[in-house]
Chain A
Amino acid sequence: MQGIILFASLTSTYLMVIAKRTPALIRSFRYQSFCLFLLTFSIALEERRMDLYIIAGLLLVIKVFLIPQLLYRIIKRINANEDLGLFINPQLSLLWALGFTYLSWIFTAYLIVPSNQAQASILAIAFFIVLAGIFLMIFRMTALAQVIGLLVMENGLFLLASTVSGGMPFFVEIAIFFDVFVSVLIMGFFVYRISRLFTHIDVNKLSRLKG
């Protein structure tokens, strides 16, 4: 069961890497968050832990519903071009993503004892998601894509934390959720401001400050 969920989250990350338009990116982000929710929920069912139920609930509310909804609303309000502005076309991005998958597997093998196969695959996928987030932030030009890239990185870290070290302490986890939510609100505010002042959200053209 967990294997299928992990595979689904891997697939959704690949979808993000090859997405051309912002709504598609947000949709895949929603799928990815939903996979994380299922994973946390299944662990909670297995171990019968109250705190994991709460965390799964928060994941569902914040990352599956609130944040994507917020991002959709921002797109609507700023009326911007929905193209992501790719530096690298989807085919090449796919190649990069394959490379990242391999890289994270090697890194995982270095980090933990090879006997534990299940944990190793989760760890590798988590690192891959983090790398994919960095990739999105660097090679997509719009400000919104950067916000989503950051969220993807955070999702990867959530996967890492929840499975590898048995999760962060409960109240830290809650604080991080709160923090992520607030940061998306604030970044959304700034995206809105950028689009009003510059009439575009192409971060590549933000180059007034130099030297």
Chain B
Amino acid sequence: MEIFLILGIPALLSIAALSFGKRKAFGVINSIGYLAVLSAGIFLAKKVIFSGCTYSFFGFIYLDALSAFFIFVISVVSFAASLYSIGYIKRDIRGAIISEEKAKIYYVLFNLFCLSMFFVPAVNNLGMLWVAIEMTTLVSAFLVGFYNTKKSVEAAWKYIIICSVGIIFALLGTILFSYAFSIAGLSKSLNWSDIAPVAHILDKNILKIAFIFILVGYGTKAGLAPMHTWLPDAHSQAVAPISALLSGVLLKTAIYAILRFGIITIKGVGFAYFSHLMILFGIISLVISCCFILVQKDLKRLLAYSSIEHIGIISIGFGLGTPLAIAGSLLHVFNHAVTKSLMFFGAGNIVHAYKKHNMNAIRGVIKALPFTGIMVLAGCFALTGFPPFSIFISELLIIIASFVNGSYLVAASLLLFLAVIFGAFIYHFGRMLFGNLPKGMAVAGEPLSGKLAFLFLFFQICAVGIILVFVKKDLLWITERLFRG
């Protein structure tokens, strides 16, 4: 039942935006809609975790704990983004950067984008999963090229081409999975609920090759290095609330797809194969992102490379595969989503006030935008894994798990790169946040809705960090259920 609300509200809102999108109040209606989606998401998660997986709509939709968790994460970030959009779009209209007609298009695309992302964890059929992920690319390409400048169109083009090629490889992988399924003498089906129980009798060679294609294909969308090249361009050129959605949840939907196929591969081929590949790509992502973070000059690109870093950490966590590491990774999916969204909102406000992306030209943010400045400062510490914020806990879980697992090399490289990235972040943000204001820079007010979005996310970052210390046992229990699913 809840799933129909979750899919229906964005669909209705996109239709409503077509006709009322120009009205000033539409932004508010939009975020009320996403508040409803968020509460439906919470109910859904509760229901699925306590009473097991559910089918609906003739088996087209299949929900287990894993998909409910991802739906919950998407609903949190999309609610925050819809709140932030109100003020952001209003300011752009007032500054004559976009017309009211364009604002309408923005809301239509925003809702379609969220709808396509909600579809990804909800569908049962692995072919439809592919279609849903391709849809997210197609819709968000417009949002990346939204401002229609040379840079943003270039970013959108690279985004759509690189991700489409990647996703074609994923389709090849999906076809090979279905081939493995059909030569095992089973009836033709791509439904996850049909494939997963019989994964152990599938042909091992084909599964191995198929999973490589899946990992390269969806890995492109997830931003795993070395297939990440579209990511910094797209994230830096998109509209700020969309950057948050791209980095916070779009990458995670691709991770979700990898996990689904990964579970089949684990059952069919054994754990070591999956584990080695995930850890390999994770470490490459960490190394590459670390190098680019150190020498970065552009604020939004800095945050984009940090997304690659965190995707690397998540993939290492899943690669380690002990319950502790998986708990850490899933938590990290949530924590990174909320923290990175907060940072992108902050970056959006900063870029708007200074009219620049270049970090060398941005000074004294705390004086110019006191509220945003303080939030970004806290977010910067949270993002680099400082206690008491939530990312600290999830990173700690993954590192502990790798020590317990005996993978000392993995643990050591994680610690090394996290330390370097921490230093780089503090250096970059310290220079931006403090210092003297550039000449002629006025202290500007900030819209209320933007502040609400910040507070909402900040609350999640702190609350999760603190609460989790006390409820470790429940967490492990939930993870075990996820793992079985």
B336 on the A face (CB < 8 A): no
Which of A58-66, A89-97, A171-179 lies at the interface?
A171-179
Chain B residues lying within 8 Å of A130, measured Cβ to Cβ, are: 168, 172
A101 CB to closest chain B CB (Å) equals 18
A49 CB to closest chain B CB (Å) equals 12
B64 on the A face (CB < 8 A): no
Let me know if B134 and A157 touch, CB within 8 A: no
> Given that A197-B153, A203-B157 are known contacts, is A153 also in contact with B165, CB under 8 Å in the complex?
yes
> Can you list, as one digit per residue, whether each of B171-201 has a CB less than 8 Å from chain A (1) or not (0)?
1100100110110000011100000000000
Contact of A183 among B134, B178, B301 (CB under 8 A): B134
Looking at chain A's contact residues, the main secondary structure is helix
In the complex, the chain A residue whose C-beta lies closest to that of B236 is: A209
B155 on the A face (CB < 8 A): yes
> Can you list, as one digit per residue, whether each of B279-316 has a CB less than 8 Å from chain A (1) or not (0)?
00000000000001001111001000000000000000
In the complex, the chain B residue whose C-beta lies closest to that of A162 is: B175
In the complex, the chain A residue whose C-beta lies closest to that of B161 is: A146
B28 on the A face (CB < 8 A): no
In the complex, the chain B residue whose C-beta lies closest to that of A138 is: B165
Let me know if A182 and B178 touch, CB within 8 A: no
Chain B residues lying within 8 Å of A164, measured Cβ to Cβ, are: 175, 179
- Give residues 193-237 of B contacting A (CB, 8 Å): 205-206, 209, 232-233, 236-237
CA distance A110 to B175 in the complex (A): 17
A55 on the B face (CB < 8 A): no
Let me know if A111 and B205 touch, CB within 8 A: yes
A196 CB to closest chain B CB (Å) equals 9
B368 CB to closest chain A CB (Å) equals 26
Let me know if A209 and B165 touch, CB within 8 A: no
B177 CB to closest chain A CB (Å) equals 9
CA distance A168 to B129 in the complex (A): 13
> Given that A153-B168, A208-B150, A209-B236 are known contacts, is A190 also in contact with B157, CB under 8 Å in the complex?
yes
> Can you list, as one digit per residue, whether each of A198-211 has a CB less than 8 Å from chain B (1) or not (0)?
10000100101101
B377 on the A face (CB < 8 A): no
By size class, the interface of chain A is 35 or more
CA distance A182 to B141 in the complex (A): 12
By size class, the interface of chain B is 35 or more
In the complex, the chain B residue whose C-beta lies closest to that of A193 is: B153
Chain A residues lying within 8 Å of B138, measured Cβ to Cβ, are: 179, 182-183, 186
Let me know if B182 and A211 touch, CB within 8 A: no
Chain B residues lying within 8 Å of A16, measured Cβ to Cβ, are: none
> Given that A157-B172, A209-B236 are known contacts, is A165 also in contact with B188, CB under 8 Å in the complex?
yes
B430 on the A face (CB < 8 A): no
Contact of B127 among A143, A146, A172 (CB under 8 A): A172
Chain A residues lying within 8 Å of B156, measured Cβ to Cβ, are: 190
Chain B residues lying within 8 Å of A160, measured Cβ to Cβ, are: 172, 175
Chain B residues lying within 8 Å of A176, measured Cβ to Cβ, are: 127, 130-131, 171
Contact of B158 among A179, A186, A197, A206 (CB under 8 A): A206
A124 CB to closest chain B CB (Å) equals 14
Residues of chain A having any CB pair with chain B under 8 Å: 110-111, 130, 134, 137, 143, 146, 150, 153-154, 157, 160-161, 164-169, 171-172, 175-176, 179, 182-183, 186-187, 190, 193-194, 197-198, 203, 206, 208-209, 211
| 29 A-B contact pairs sorted by A residue (CB < 8 Å) | A130-B172, A137-B161, A150-B164, A150-B165, A150-B168, A157-B168, A160-B175, A161-B178, A165-B178, A168-B175, A169-B189, A171-B128, A172-B125, A172-B128, A172-B131, A176-B127, A179-B131, A179-B138, A182-B138, A183-B138, A183-B160, A186-B142, A186-B160, A190-B141, A190-B145, A203-B157, A206-B158, A208-B154, A211-B301
